[in-house]
Structure 1
Amino acid sequence: MHTKKVIIVAQLFISGMMALFMSGVMSVIHMGFTAQWFAQWGPNFLTAWPIAFVASMVVGPIGFAMARIVLRVEDAV
Structure 2
Amino acid sequence: MLHGLHRPDLHTAQVIELGFGHGRTAVLVHTAGCRLATDRTRPATRAQALHSLRHPAAETCAVCGAGRELGVTDP
The bucket for the TM-score relative to the shorter chain is under 0.3
Structure in which a larger fraction of residues adopt helix:
1
Structure in which a larger fraction of residues adopt strand:
2
- TM-score normalised by L of structure 2: 0.20
Larger Rg: 1
- TM-score normalised by L of structure 1: 0.20
